[in-house]
Amino acid sequence: MRSFEYASPTTKEQAVALLDKTWGQTEMLAGGSDLLALMKDEILTPKRVINIKEIKELEGISFTPSAGLRVGALVTLDQLAENALIKQHYPALHMAAEEAASPQIRNVGTLGGNLCQRPRCWYFRSGFGLFAKDEGGELVPAGDNRYHAILGNDGPAYYVHPSSIAPVLIALAAKVKIYGSKGPRQVSAGEFFVVPKSEDERENVLQPNEIVTEITLPPPGGVKAANYEVRHREVFDWPLATAAVALTMNGKTVKSARVVLGHVAPIPWPSPEAEQAIIGKMITEEVAAEAANAALSKAKALSRNGYKIQLARVAVKRAILQAAG
């Protein structure tokens, strides 16, 4: 690991003042489960590391029936999974947090860090860049792409977004609050994630001198939601496909729906096709299966990841059935 400056501010204003205006010169340290690995492998070589764990206003979980849920960016995944209010009012978020990573990582990994983590693509982690290229061109399409994207994979990005929490937040209409040199701003969780256009950009809308401060969710309001993961094994493993579903019911029929897939595209992938397939209908096995087929109707397999299409269908179908009870 290369040498670096270390700073430990106690306010968000101090932290932002220490950040550089371009990516790569400075990095923020929260749980460290992603950053330290990237630095050890020299994928990131910041000149300054800014510890934000001493910023108290980035901590805490609060809920009121009228305002909804507020989660500080420094809240760990374990705190998220163990919070009684989240278990009661946002069970899909509880489920996603409880299943994320391993107990050791959940104890240190933060919600803000989970949303901002870098891709787990082994080409990226081996130093071939975000778009996985060498002198011969793109490496992923004809390479080992078993775990790469099946949606939004026309290039140059083939990695899958690594957050298992993000699809649930998008389905539940969460907002991400950001603080930077120009003050605070807020974006929807769905707008927070983007596909970078160059190697010098990141996978979200943060500017180099901005930080995530908190995530807010609206009051549950009778929304029925679920999260379903498909993975190789129950112990710590990256999911192969996930689906988050949020339903608003009108009696026994679906009034409105959000369906968001994870680990299948460079960003958490909303599926308006699946949503339209269930709106105005009663949820049955057949309707859920139709929605799952619609969700993957535009999927395109690479040379070795075609199996993920069926796994994603299963995740969507089962998430819809669980949400509907």
Q: What band does 1 get if pLDDT is binned at 50, 70 and 90?
A: confident
- pLDDT, tens digit (0-9, with 9 covering 90-100), for 193-219: 999 999 999 999 999 999 999 999 999
> Span 288-300, mean pLDDT?
98
- pLDDT, tens digit (0-9, with 9 covering 90-100), for 268-287: 999 999 999 999 999 999 99
End-to-end Cα distance, the chain: 50
Q: Mean pLDDT score of the chain, rounded to an integer?
A: 97
Does the reported pTM lie above 0.85?
Answer: yes
Tell whether domain 224-324 is in CATH 3.30.390.50: yes
Q: In terms of Cα–Cα distance, which of 57, 71, 75 is closest to 216?
A: 71
Cα(193)–Cα(9) distance, rounded to whole angstroms? 27
Is 38 a residue whose pLDDT tops 90?
A: yes
- pLDDT, tens digit (0-9, with 9 covering 90-100), for 136-190: 999 999 999 999 999 999 999 999 999 999 999 999 999 999 999 999 999 999 9
**pLDDT value for 102:** 87
The H helix count followed by the E strand count for the chain is 13, 14
DSSP state, 185?
Answer: E
70: buried, middle or exposed (CB in 10 Å: 19+, 13-18, 0-12)?
middle
Q: Report residue 34: phi and psi, to 5°.
A: -100, -50
Tell whether domain 57-116+161-217 is in CATH 3.30.465.10: yes
Q: What band does 236 get if pLDDT is binned at 50, 70 and 90?
A: confident
- pLDDT, tens digit (0-9, with 9 covering 90-100), for 73-119: 999 999 999 999 999 999 999 999 999 988 999 999 999 999 999 99
Q: Report residue 215: phi and psi, to 5°.
A: -125, 135
SS3 at position 54: coil
SS3 at position 175: strand
Q: Report residue 239: phi and psi, to 5°.
A: -60, 150
Question: For the chain, which residues make up each domain, given as ranges?
Answer: 57-116+161-217, 224-324
**pLDDT value for 237:** 81
What residues pair up with 51 in beta bridges, in sequence order? 29
Residue type (1 letter), 252:
K
Q: Please, how many CA atoms are within 13 Å of residue 61, restricted to the half-sphere of its CB?
A: 19
Is 234 a residue whose pLDDT tops 80?
A: no
